[in-house]
Amino acid sequence: MLSDPTTLTLAKLSELLKKRQISSEDLVNTFLEKIESQNPNINAYITVDKAGAIKAAKDADARLDAKQGEALTGIPIGVKDLFCTKGLLTTCASKILHNFIPPYESTVTSRLKAAGAVVLGKTNMDEFAMGSSNETSHFGVVKNPWDHSRIPGGSSGGSAAAVSASLCSATIGTDTGGSIRQPAALTGITGFKPTYGRVSRFGMIAFASSLDQAGPMTKTAQDSALMLQTMAGHDAKDATSINAPVPDYMASLNDGLKGRKIGIPAEYFASGLSQDVATVIEEAKKQFTDLGAELVPVSLPTTKHAIPTYYILAPAEASSNLARYDGVRFGYRCEDPQDIKDLYFRTRAEGFGSEVKRRIMLGTYVLSSGYYDAYYLKAQKVRRLIADDFKAAFAKVDLLLAPTTPDTAFKLGAKTDDPVQMYLSDIFTINVNLAGLPAISIPCGFDKTNLPIGLQLIGRPLDESGILSAAHAYQQATDWHTRSPIL
Partner 1 sequence: MSINADTVKHVANLARLNISDDEVESHTNQLSQILGLMDQLNSLPTDNVEPMTHAVDMLMPAREDVVVNGDSREILLNCAPDSEDGHFRVPKIIE
The binding site for partner 1 (CB under 8 A) comprises: 100-101, 103, 195-197, 210-211, 236, 239-240, 242-243, 302, 304-305, 307-309, 311-312, 319, 323, 326-333, 337-340, 342-346, 348-349, 352, 357-358, 360-362, 364-365, 368, 375, 377-385, 387, 419-420, 423, 433-436, 461
132 belongs to the catalytic site: no
Cα angle 72, 74, 78; round to 5? 75
Q: Minimum CB separation from partner 1 for residue 130, in Å?
A: 13
Nearer to partner 1, 43 or 309 (CB): 309
Q: Are 421 and 435 in contact (CB under 8 A)?
A: no
Q: Minimum CB separation from partner 1 for residue 345, in Å?
A: 4
Torsion of CA 205, 206, 211, 214, to 10 degrees: 10
Could you give the strand order of the β-sheet that contains 76-80, starting from the edge strand earlier in sequence? 45-48, 118-123, 76-80, 170-174, 214-218, 190-193, 439-446, 452-459, 399-403, 261-265, 294-298
Nearer to partner 1, 34 or 234 (CB): 234
Nearer to partner 1, 19 or 329 (CB): 329
Nearer to partner 1, 387 or 414 (CB): 387
Q: Minimum CB separation from partner 1 for residue 305, in Å?
A: 6
Non-local CB neighbours of 339 within 8 Å, separated by 6+ positions? none
Q: Minimum CB separation from partner 1 for residue 125, in Å?
A: 21
Q: Minimum CB separation from partner 1 for residue 420, in Å?
A: 5
> Annotated catalytic residue: which of 24, 179, 224, 241?
179
For residue 323, the 8-state DSSP code is: G
> Annotated catalytic residue: which of 14, 133, 155, 441?
155
Q: Are 353 and 95 in contact (CB under 8 A)?
A: yes
Q: Minimum CB separation from partner 1 for residue 448, in Å?
A: 31
Nearer to partner 1, 34 or 305 (CB): 305
Beta bridge partners of 315: none
Q: Minimum CB separation from partner 1 for residue 336, in Å?
A: 9
* Nearest residue to 82 via CA among 139, 135, 124, 39: 124
Nearer to partner 1, 196 or 268 (CB): 196
Give the type of residue at 188: G
Cα–Cα distance, 140 to 91 (Å, whole number) = 13
- Total residues belonging to the chain: 487
Q: Minimum CB separation from partner 1 for residue 369, in Å?
A: 9
Nearer to partner 1, 373 or 479 (CB): 373
For residue 207, the 8-state DSSP code is: S
* Nearest residue to 201 via CA among 179, 222, 175, 223: 175
Nearer to partner 1, 196 or 207 (CB): 196
* Nearest residue to 441 via CA among 455, 452, 428: 455
Nearer to partner 1, 283 or 418 (CB): 418
Cα–Cα distance, 28 to 483 (Å, whole number) = 23
H or E segment to which residue 260 belongs: none
* Nearest residue to 12 via CA among 223, 200, 285, 201: 223
Helices (H), 240-377: 275-290, 306-321, 340-351, 354-367
80 belongs to the catalytic site: yes
> Annotated catalytic residue: which of 14, 23, 80, 94?
80
155 belongs to the catalytic site: yes
Cα–Cα distance, 474 to 284 (Å, whole number) = 9
Sign for the CA dihedral angle at 48, 50, 54, 59 comes to negative
Q: Are 285 and 401 in contact (CB under 8 A)?
A: yes
Q: Minimum CB separation from partner 1 for residue 200, in Å?
A: 13
As annotated, the active-site residues are 80, 155, 179
